[in-house]
Each structure stands twice: as C-alpha cells, then as structure tokens.
Amino acid sequence: MSVPRACRERDDFVSWPRDDAKLARVRALMAEHDFDALVARAPDNVLYLSNYWPMKGYDLVVFPREGELTLIALEPQAEDAARTAWTNDIRLFTGYDKRDPRPPQTRALELAREAVQARGFERVGLELTLGTQASDRMVGEPTTYTHEFFHAFGAGIADATPLLARARALKTEQEIERMRIANEIAAAAMEHVKANICPGMRESEAAALWQGHVHGQGTAREDVELALGFALVWSGPGIRTFTATGDRPVQEREPTLFEIWVCADGYWCDHTKNVCPERLSPRYDDLLDALLEVYAAAIDHLRPGASLPELDRLIRQGIDEAGYPGQPSHPVAHGVGARAHEPPYAHQAGDGTIEEGMVLAIEPGCYWEQGGGLRLEDNFLVTAAGAEKLSPFPDDFR
C-alpha cells in the first residue's frame, strides 16, 4: 500500500524538521562499522531514525548508509507517518488482511526484507542484543519478535545495538529542545500536584492527579501532539526503592515521593520529585540536607572528560559517609533521550567518560529499613561549562 496524496498534503501539524546532525552521526558510525543499512524494530529507534513514533511496536525502519530511508508503517497510522516521517518512502501494511491469517508483524517484515533486497544491501545491522520484550507494570502490551525476524535478512547481518547506543549518547540541539519540552510538562504537573495534594489523599489519587495533568495539559501544548505520563508514588513509610503505587494515605509532615516519566512525542524525561503538605519533620530535614550535599557533588562532577565510573563511586561514597552504607540498591546515573533509561550508565566497575551533549539522570537515594526515605532525581545536560538542570521544579522541596 502507498500513502494517499491527501495525507501527504496535510499541514495542520508542524512536525520537527529533519535532524541532519543526528542522521549524519549515525551514518558516520555505519561507515566505521561497514554497515550498508540498519533495520530498526524498537519503537525508540524507529523514532530516533525517522521521527515517526509508532502507536504499536510493529513498525520498522530500513535506514541506509546512503539515500532515503524506508519506513514500514501500520496502515491506520498513514496520516501520522506522512505528517511526521523524514522520508517519502513510506510503505504501509495492514493490521488485518482477510486473505492472510498471520499477525501484522509478518507483513511488516516482508516489506522490510523486500526493501533490503531491492537495494542490494549486503551487510545489515539489526538490534540483536536487545533480544525481545515482555510486559511489565508500566507498559501494557509491548511487542515481541519471532525467530523469523532475526533470520530474514540473509547471512550478512551483525549487531547494530552498540552503534545506535553510541550515536544516541550525544544529543543534538533538536533532541535537547524536545527533552526540554518533556521536562517542562513534568514540572508543570508537579506544580499542579503541589497546589492540590492534601493529607489523607491516597497515593493512587496523587499519582492520577499528576498523570492527568501531563496527558491533558501537556497534549494541549502547541508544540506537542501527544504527552504521556507514568508515575510511581509513595508517601512517608511507603517510600521504598521501586514498588507499585498503593492506596496508603498522603502523610502530613513526611514527603510524598513521585518517581515520574514524561514522554512527549517520543522524547523523555525521568525525575524523582517530592512534595510535603506541611512543614517537614526533623528527621526528614536531616536526611534531605545530607542527600542534597551528595547530589551537589555529583552535579559538579558532570563536566566533559570526567569519569563515568567515578560518578557512580562518588555518589555511593557520599551516601556511605552520610550513614547509609551499601545504598542505594538501584543505579544512580544513566542517560535519557528517546527512552527514559538508555546508555551511558555510570558504574564504578565500568568505563567511559562524560561528554558534552550527554543528558544524564542523577538519582541518589537513601532508604530506612522500616520504611521511608528519600530520593532526588533530575536530568542534566552536560555543557562545556558544566551541568545544566533541565527541570524548573526544585529538588529542595522545602
């Protein structure tokens, strides 16, 4: 199927212009690794390479080292693809075909294979080390891939996952602008929560307060087509590392912690923010002071050429010195972009350096064995002069 002309002439939504700096970086890495083309299946990589954000996980991109990319898109999203994709080569497949009982992924795969064969690509990169996916509590129905997909492009295939991770670690000006939008939406929703949360409200109600504002007001922005919010919320003794939001009541003098993610047209932010309806209790005052000191040291470390392993080490050492040895049990620094969690990851047993153009989430946390504790998290753009905090919502919530 081809894209109807009427779809391609639609001009009521201004899409992002083609990010040539980003695509040139990917192609330079492809030349370095001798790839003729990449076939991307993960929705975040489809977005990254084509600017088309799939509604389902069936869509594919054939991205050549030279020439125009091919987008394989689900037919009901023809208008979305025509409006947003950085290509004129859009090939549509149906979700249901009365002559074909197979699932829609098989029809997408056939179109991608035809595109690869027609252009004579010999060495093709696939996201082999991404494996497959299974549902978790935040995503209702992710797509899984069959054995057929990984053996559909002949013998000249190799893993392109490291290439894409390397390209995505550094953000272009357009990507940073898109991430600022996600950060602004998340902060505005936190201001809405701060103005309306009250003791006795259930954690789930507080989460809905934030999520509703993100989806309703974020999507209403002129520069956003779709904003989605994801939240895990705990209050006072309910604060842990990562557990499901429950129905515990919001505490009066203890923090309610919001572990939150916003996706605005495919680009993300990842925050942990706190609110307290009344004056914070003394023990939380002390914990917040200690955590802010660790946080400040980590932010100061975010300079071009600084060590990623040392970032993890100094955060954990600071938490040890604050009286919480061995904490936290979760990672404390990672990249953010077309996913909420993406490379690079800071780990003291790893390697790598911080580079200008990276956007990193910094998230130190301390937790009490009997329940309760605190975590701080924001996203920081690494510039030549140091770190720039992307969210306007304060980390010292007092």
Tell me, what's the pLDDT at 137? 63
In eight-state DSSP terms, residue 396 is S
Report the pLDDT value the prediction gives residue 397, as an integer from 0 to 100: 96
- What pLDDT is stored for residue 394 in this prediction? 97
Contacts of 26 by beta carbon, 8 Å cutoff, 6+ apart: 38, 49, 63, 163, 164, 167
pLDDT value at residue 138: 57
What DSSP line would sit under 329-385, residue for residue? Answer: SS--EEE-SSSSSEEEE--TTS--B--TT-EEEE--EEE-TTS-EEE-BEEEEEETT
Q: 276 phi and psi, to 5 degrees?
A: -140, 120
In single-letter form, the type of residue at position 309 comes to P
User: Cβ(250)–Cβ(202) under 8 Å?
Assistant: yes
Q: Give pLDDT, residue 5.
A: 37
Cβ 178 vs Cβ 153: under 8 Å:
no
Task: Report the C-alpha gap between 209 and 196 in whole angstroms.
Answer: 8
| HEC per residue, 232-286 | EEEEHHHCCCCCCCCCCECCCCCCEEEEEEEEECCEEEEEEEEECCCCCCHHHHH
- Tokens 């797509």 label which residue? 143
pLDDT one digit per residue (tens) for the chain, 398 residues: 444 433 334 345 568 999 999 999 999 999 999 999 999 999 999 999 999 999 888 999 999 999 999 999 999 999 999 999 999 999 999 999 999 998 899 999 999 999 999 999 999 999 999 877 766 665 667 788 888 999 999 889 999 999 999 999 999 999 999 999 999 999 999 999 999 999 999 999 999 999 999 999 999 999 999 999 999 999 999 998 878 898 999 999 999 999 999 999 999 999 999 999 999 999 999 999 999 999 999 999 999 999 999 999 999 999 999 999 999 999 999 999 999 999 999 999 999 999 999 999 999 999 999 999 999 999 999 999 999 999 999 999 99
Which residues neighbour 291 within 8 Å (Cβ) at sequence distance 6 or greater? 319, 322, 364, 365, 366, 374, 375, 376
CA distance 35 to 44: 20
How do residues 64-100 score in pLDDT, each as one tens digit? 999 999 999 999 999 999 999 999 999 999 999 999 9
User: What number of helices (H) and strands (E) belong to the chain?
Assistant: 11, 16
d(CA 204, CA 250) in angstroms, rounded, equals 10
Can you read off the two tokens belonging to residue 71?
A: 């987008």
8-state DSSP, 216: I
Q: Rounded distance, CA 190 to CA 204, Å? A: 15
Question: How far apart, in whole angstroms, are the C-alpha atoms of residue 123 and residue 253?
Answer: 61
Tell me if the bond preceding 4 is cis, omega within 30° of 0. no
Amino acid identity of residue 85, one-letter, is A
pLDDT of residue 2: 46
**Cβ distance 89 to 68 under 8 Å?**
yes
Q: What's the one-letter identity of residue 227? A: A
Which pLDDT score, from 0 to 100, does residue 10 have? 33
